A and B are shown apart, each in its own frame.
Chain A
Amino acid sequence: MNSFVRICLCFLLPLVSCSPAKVSDSQEFPPIEPDYTAVTVPEGMAPLKFRMRDGRKFKCKHYRNGDTLWTVVTAWNNASDAVRYAPFPIVTSHDEIDPYIAYRLIEPGYENWHDMGIYQRELASFKETPVVTNLVNNRGCVNCHNFSGFSPDRFLFHARGTGGGTVFVDGNDVKLVNLTQVGAHKQGVYPAWHPDGRYVAFASCKTYQRFSIKNSQPIEVFDETSDIIMMDTATDSTYCISGLSEADRLETFPAWSPDGKTLYFCCAVGDTVSCEDRADIHYSLKSTSFADGEFSGEVRTVWQDDSASVSFPRVNGNWLLFTKSAYGTFPIWHREADLCILNLENGDFRVADELNSPDTESYHSWSSNGKWVVFSSRRIDGRYTRLYISHFDGEGHFSKPFLLPQRKPEHNQLRLQSYNVPEFISGKTSVCQSKFKKLF
């Protein structure tokens, strides 16, 4: 046998052995992981890469029909056992999506940490770059990032630990403000930047965590006390507001309406919460009016259920998306936590079943045009949060959410960090890490 034939056989034999000899048809969608069957994606999204859930080899054929991409998957274990599945659609929406999302990556740890950072991911590609990591503040905590009007150039985040505080970024200007040393002398979490960019509402909480000995929910977090405080970025001062920092109530999770005229927040009755009575605390959804830097009018109850608790209200026009859990203020570790949609015009409420899973759904954000929502869910394994994106039709309905695509489909399985606080941004932040480092 001459060398040319040998070389040809070397290449051809594996191909022959890898190709299925007999193919049977199935009427079902292929069992792929992540499940990208019948999802709606924005134009220009990074490719949705997947694998067979059971590890079988597979090949794909694609064909396009209008805005729908149909994919035919044929999977096999060996040459005599191949299945051709029903073609599944991926619909492309012409509704634009913001080009980046920002999130924190952190081990789903408990008390301490080593590596932590806020990262940004370009949705058109798989590129993930750090906004800031905790290398800048000596392995302290970096969290609670919030962008003013989806702008990558104007945002804040907290840097906790020695010499920590709240870092405000405005273009190339970076400043550190220790909220406990100004105005109301209270620390702040869960920031919400007012649409006009001048004010920021924070919750100021005294938070505790306990560890479950036996239950499948590993951690319980609760606020002993909490109030809402405001910060005026023009004067770098903070202040408390009557009605939002009442001694006999717990106020938290501030969120502005897109027009900036209403502040939504969550509120529960009680002066302090102990570990024992935390399960009896149910937060309702409230709102109050805001104009020209002043709050006015009564605090109104927007939604209340005595057997449920509201967290993370996020407004999109007449629609408000929030997390509903059985009790308390920290749904992130509550398996029963689900996303719910509320029509602010007529008060219609429903559990957004199309977004939810048997496991935790918690933090969520609207895109700048209100057509997309990104949220975190523990549905893959119950412990590590992953990001899902869904299209909103403007009528109160969402498309089937799709997992944030990765260059390799197994990436979500292999990543040892959870995604926290996903937020859409209109571009890439480009503040140099060394600028942050100088602050600490």
Chain B
Amino acid sequence: MKKYIIPILLAVLVFCITVFFQRFTILRQEGLGLFLNTPDFYRALFFDAFPLSNLIGSFLVQFYSNFYVGSAIVAIIVVSEYLVVRAILARLGIKAESLCMLCACTAWFFIAKAANPSMGVAILLCSSVPLIALALILGRKISARHALPKAVDIVCCIIVAASASSLVALHHDIREGEKWSRIEFAAVQGEWKFLLKNATPRMAQKDMNIVPYALLALNAQGRLADEIDRYPLMENLGLDYGDEVSYRRSLFDAVLYYNLGCYNEAIHRTHQCGDFLPHCTSFRTLRMLVKENYALGDSLMVVKYCDILDKSLTHKEFTSYFRQNPCPQRVPDSARVSSESLLIVTNDPMEIMLRLGRAGINSPMIMERYYAYFKLREYYRTHKQ
């Protein structure tokens, strides 16, 4: 039993650190992940590099929708790594818990930094190979010949574990990842107060990229025109990410247009998110497509995406709501699309708002955004003079 005390303590440590410092990273990983029990999914997986680790990683990531479960999976992977290294060393006749801890903590750091659990699974699988090889070559364990003094070993273990915990909790990239995970989560869920807590004007001074999200949250709460000058001006004097081509921009635009009430464009932008994802889609984009098509009144597409999500193990509750409350199928409109109702891709927010208005989308958010943009320009002109 004694030999399991260190692994159990390590599991508890990893679980706690992940829950407290990577809660939203775990949720984001689920959002960016995908596991579907469909032939197309498996085919795409096996055409890609590292299919086995990706398969296991993709399977596990669906359970990250609950961050306690996700954190437990991270803890299990790290502890498994610890046990694998210990078994390898035991085969070689070496007894050094601190060395096992070092390997496990190194794996933990990379898992914490990675975008999905496939990294952890890949590390685990790779480190298992020497174990299997040794088992085959040596046949049985060599009795322990090299061992650190127990006290020294334990102290080293504690130092390594403490250092790793601090690193995971305080590392800049991991903190940034957690910050953006929080912002994206809040925006997609429409939790605007929470978003503003994580995108304050002071934080915006350090990272201008959070400004569009902050302005969107203000906009959704009807505070944009009043409070826009609390946030720093962006270079393009816009309210969004301009012509940046990235997942961040596509996701932001999808959320923005969904909240403005322009569901066609929200769907377009959500599809664009897929361009940055391994399977051209993810759990998050599929869930967004369900909501957007539901709002649009395209019940056929809602059913399609629900059917697809039901091919994972964790979306029954999500899809059952849309199945039990079907939206009426919208009536197709005339074949001729007027030029006024076409959106021209432009970085001019005023032009976009004008076109949305002309096409008959006149939500209060659009009106306020329009007004705020005027105010922004005025402020800029005054400021410049």
* A residues in contact with B332, CB < 8 Å: 216, 335, 358, 382
A275 CA / B298 CA spacing, docked (Å) = 27
Known: A214-B341, A275-B344. 12 other contacts (CB 8 A): A107-B280, A108-B271, A110-B271, A112-B275, A114-B275, A212-B342, A215-B341, A217-B333, A382-B301, A414-B307, A416-B281, A417-B40
Q: When the two chains form their complex, are residues B264 and A213 in contact, meaning their CB atoms are under 8 A apart? A: yes
Which of A66-74, A199-207, A405-413 contacts the other chain?
A405-413
Binding site for A on B (CB under 8 A): 36, 38-40, 44, 47, 245, 262, 264-265, 267-268, 271-272, 274-281, 298, 300-301, 304, 307-308, 311, 330, 332-337, 339, 341-345, 355-356, 359-361
Q: Which of A69-128 contact B (CB under 8 A)?
A: 107-115
The CA of A417 and the CA of B359, in the complex, are separated in Å by 29
| Chain A residue nearest in CB terms to B298 | A382
Question: Distance (Å) between the CB of B48 and the closest chain A CB?
Answer: 9
Tell me, in angstroms, the Cα distance from A226 to B324 when the chains sit together.
49
Is the Cβ of B40 less than 8 Å from the Cβ of A416?
Answer: yes
Cα(A69)–Cα(B191), bound, Å: 58
| A212 and B335 contacting across the interface, CB-CB below 8 Å | no
Contact of A407 among B39, B47, B335 (CB under 8 A): B39
Within 8 A of B (CB), among A381-398: 381-384
A321-346 residues at the B interface, CB under 8 angstroms? 325-327, 334-336
B265 / chain A contacts, CB cutoff of 8 Å: 211, 213
CB atoms of B268 and A416 under 8 A apart: no
Q: Complex Cα distance A417/B262, Å? A: 24
A382 nearest in chain B by CB position: B300
Closest to B275 in A: A112
**Is residue A435 contacting chain B, with contact meaning CB distance below 8 A?**
no
Query: Total number of A-B contacts with CB less than 8 angstroms?
Result: 125
Q: Which residues of A contact B333 (CB under 8 A)?
A: 215-217
- Closest-by-CB residue of B relative to A219 is B268
Chain A positions near chain B (C-beta within 8 angstroms): 107-115, 133, 135, 210-218, 220, 275-276, 278-279, 325-327, 334-336, 358, 380-384, 407-408, 410-411, 413-417
Contact B359 A214 (CB under 8 A): yes
**Given A214-B361, A414-B38, also A220-B342 (CB < 8 A):** yes
Interface centre among B44, B330, B339 (most CB of A within 10 A): B339
In the complex the two chains form, is A413's CB within 8 Å of B267's CB?
no
Q: By the criterion CB–CB under 8 Å, are B280 and A416 in contact?
A: yes
Minimum CB distance partner of A135 in chain B:
B47
Distance in angstroms between the alpha carbons of A107 and B361 in the assembled complex: 27
Instruction: Please report the C-alpha to C-alpha distance between residue A382 and residue B337 in the assembled complex, in whole angstroms.
Output: 16
Q: Could you name 6 residue pairs across A and B whose Cβ atoms are closer than 8 Å?
A: A114-B274, A133-B47, A211-B342, A213-B262, A218-B268, A382-B300
* Min distance, Cβ B328 to any Cβ of chain A, angstroms: 14
Contacts of B280 in A (CB 8 A): 107, 109, 113-115, 416
Tell me the complex Cα distance, A392–B172, Å. Answer: 66
Bound form: Cα–Cα A413–B306 in Å:
10
Q: How far is the CA of A299 from the CA of B99 in the complex (A)?
A: 82
Q: Which of A217, A218, A410 interacts with B267 by CB under 8 Å?
A: A218
Q: How far is the CA of A415 from the CA of B355 in the complex (A)?
A: 34
A381, B301: Cβ atoms closer than 8 Å: yes
Closest to A274 in B: B339
Min CB gap B180→A, angstroms: 21
Q: Is the CB of A213 within 8 A of B344?
A: no
Residues of A within 8 A of B304 (CB): 381, 384, 413
Q: Is the CB of A216 within 8 A of B40?
A: no
CB closest residue in chain B, given A417: B40
- Asked if B335 and A326 sit within 8 Å, CB to CB, the answer is yes
Expressed in whole angstroms, the Cα–Cα distance for A336 and B332 within the complex equals: 10
Determine whether the beta carbon of A107 is less than 8 Å from that of B335: no
On chain B, the residues within 8 Å of A218 by CB distance are: 264, 267-268
Q: Beyond A115-B279, A213-B359, is A415–B337 a contact (Cβ under 8 Å)?
A: no
Chain B residues lying within 8 Å of A107, measured Cβ to Cβ, are 271, 274, 280-281
Question: Quick check: B39 and A411 within 8 Å, CB to CB?
Answer: yes
CB-CB under 8 A from A382, the residues of chain B are 298, 300-301, 332
Chain B minimum-CB-distance residue to A126: B39
Instruction: Report the separation of the CA atoms of residues A167 and B301 in the bound assembly, to the nearest whole angstrom.
Output: 36
Docked pose: A417 CA to B43 CA in angstroms: 13
* Cα separation A384 to B311 with both chains bound (whole Å): 19
Q: What residue of chain B has the Cβ atom nearest to residue A333's Cβ?
A: B337
For A112, give the chain B residue with the smallest CB separation: B275
Contact of A215 among B272, B307, B337 (CB under 8 A): B337
Q: How far is the CA of A358 from the CA of B332 in the complex (A)?
A: 10
Chain B nearest CB, measured from A41 CB (Å):
22
Chain A min CB distance to B189 (Å): 24
Q: Is the CB of B355 within 8 A of A213?
A: yes
Residues in chain A near residue B272, CB distance under 8 A: 109-112
A210-B40 CB under 8 A given contacts A135-B47, A326-B335: no
**Assuming A114-B275, A216-B332, is B307 touching A413 (CB within 8 A)?**
yes
Q: What residue in chain B is nearest A412 (Cβ atoms)?
A: B304
- With both beta carbons as reference points, the residue of chain A lying nearest to B44 in the complex is identified as A115
Q: How far is the CA of A287 from the CA of B280 in the complex (A)?
A: 41
Which residue of B278, B300, B356 contacts A213 across the interface (Cβ within 8 Å)?
A: B356
Q: How far is the CA of A422 from the CA of B317 in the complex (A)?
A: 38
Known: A275-B342, A382-B298. A414 touches B308 (CB 8 A): yes
Q: B211 to nearest A CB, angstroms? A: 24
Would you call A213 and B343 a contact (CB within 8 A)? yes
A278–B336 Cα distance when bound, in Å, is: 10
Out of A216, A327, A408, name the residue touching B330 (CB < 8 Å).
A216
Most chain B CB within a 10 A radius of its CB, from A220, A383, A414:
A414
Provide the residues of chain A in CB contact with B267, threshold 8 Å.
Answer: 218
Evaluate contact between B47 and A415: CB separation under 8 angstroms: no
A417 to B44, CA, bound (A): 12
Q: List the 7 closest pairs (A to B, CB-CB), nearest first.
A: A213-B359, A210-B342, A336-B335, A112-B275, A381-B300, A326-B335, A216-B332
Question: In the assembled complex, which residues on chain B have CB atoms less than 8 Å from the CB atom of A211?
Answer: 264-265, 268, 342-343, 345
